[in-house]
C-alpha cells in the first residue's frame, strides 16, 4: 500500500526584502556595508487537514509577507554577534566592529536575534517567526517548515525546521 506525503510551497514576487547588512567571518573579517534584494521561498510539509490541504497557502503567503515587509528597506543588525557591538545612541543605533562604527537611525534598522546576518540565519529567523505565527492561529504543527533565502541570483541558503 503506497503512502502519500504532501507539502505546500509559496514564493511570490512580493516575498522579497531589500535590505542592508554586513557579515563577519573567519573571526577577524568584517565586510563593508552592502545590500541585497533578498527573495524568500517557504515550504511546509504535513498531513492534509479537514480541508484536504496541508495549510492554507494564502495565509502562509500573508504571514511570510508580513515578515518580509518588516525587513524591507532596513539595515539588518545581529543582536547575537560576538564581534559586533550594538549600542543605543539616542535616535540611532551604533554598530561597532573593532575601530569601525556605523550609526543608523533606529527606525531604519531591524535588530535580529541572530549571531550573523547570513542568508542561513535570516532563513532560520523567518522560519522561527512563521512557526510562531502558525501556532498563534491554532494550526497543528506541520512535519517540517523550510525557508530559502536567496541573496542574489544563484546564491541562497535554506533551513529546515523538523517538528
Ligand atoms: N553561505 C554563505 N556565504 C556567504 C554569505 C551568506 O550569507 N551565506 N554572505 C556573504 C556576504 O554577505 C555577501 O552578501 C555576498 O554577497 P555578494 O555581493 O554576492 O558578494 P560579492 O561582492 O563577493 O559578489 P559579487 O557578485 O562579486 O558582487 C558571503 N558568503
Task: Give the start-to-end residue ranges of the domains of the chain.
Answer: 6-162
pLDDT tens figures, 58-67:
999 999 999 9
Q: Under 8 Å CB-to-CB from 77, ≥6 apart: which residues?
A: 84, 86, 93, 95, 104, 109, 110, 111, 112, 117
State whether residue 130 is helix, strand or coil.
helix
Decide: 152 in ligand 1 pocket, CB within 6 A.
Answer: yes
CB 77 within 8 A of CB 112: yes
Q: How far does residue 130's CA lie from ligand 1's centre (Å)?
A: 25
Which residue in 16, 6, 18 sits closest to 57, CA to CA? 6
Nearest CA to ligand 1 atom 7: 118
CA 13 to CA 10: how far, in whole Å? 10
| Residue-wise pLDDT tens digits, 33-64 | 999 999 999 999 999 999 999 999 999 999 99
**Does the beta carbon of 45 lie inside 6 Å of ligand 1?**
no
Q: Rounded mean pLDDT of 75-90?
A: 98
Give tens-digit pLDDT for 96-128: 999 999 999 999 999 999 999 999 999 999 999
Whether 119 is in the pocket of ligand 1, judged by its Cβ within 6 Å, is yes
Please give the ipTM for the structure prediction. 0.90
Query: pTM above the 0.80 mark?
Result: yes
Per DSSP, the three-state class of 108 is: helix
Determine whether the shortest distance from the Cβ of 159 to ligand 1 is under 6 A: no
Q: How confident is the model at residue 27 (pLDDT cuts 50, 70, 90)?
A: confident
If you take atom 11 of ligand 1, which residue's CA is the nearest one? 23
What pLDDT was estimated at residue 1? 87
CATH code that applies to domain 6-162: 3.30.479.10
Output the CA 160–ligand 1 centroid distance in Å.
21
What nine digits make up the cell of 42?
A: 517557504
Average pLDDT of span 16-36: 97
Task: Please tell me the distance between residue 38's alpha carbon and the centre of ligand 1 in angstroms.
Answer: 12
Average pLDDT in the chain: 97
Amino acid at each position: 500500500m503506497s503512502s502519500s506525503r504532501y507539502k505546500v510551497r509559496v514564493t511570490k514576487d512580493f516575498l522579497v526584502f531589500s535590505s542592508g547588512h554586513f557579515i563577519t567571518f573567519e573571526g577577524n573579517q568584517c565586510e563593508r556595508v552592502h545590500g541585497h534584494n533578498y527573495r524568500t521561498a517557504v515550504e511546509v510539509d504535513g498531513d492534509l487537514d479537514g480541508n484536504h490541504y496541508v495549510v492554507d497557502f494564502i495565509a502562509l503567503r500573508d504571514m511570510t509577507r508580513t515578515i518580509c515587509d518588516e525587513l524591507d528597506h532596513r539595515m539588518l543588525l545581529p543582536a547575537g554577534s560576538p564581534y559586533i557591538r550594538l549600542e543605543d545612541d539616542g535616535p540611532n543605533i551604533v554598530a561597532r566592529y573593532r575601530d569601525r562604527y556605523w550609526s543608523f537611525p533606529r527606525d531604519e534598522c531591524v535588530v535580529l536575534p541572530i549571531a550573523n546576518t547570513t542568508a542561513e540565519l535570516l532563513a532560520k529567523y523567518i522560519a522561527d517567526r512563521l512557526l510562531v505565527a502558525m501556532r498563534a492561529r491554532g494550526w497543528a504543527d506541520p512535519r517540517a517548515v523550510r525557508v530559502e533565502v536567496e541573496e542574489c541570483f544563484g546564491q541562497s541558503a535554506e533551513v529546515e525546521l523538523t517538528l
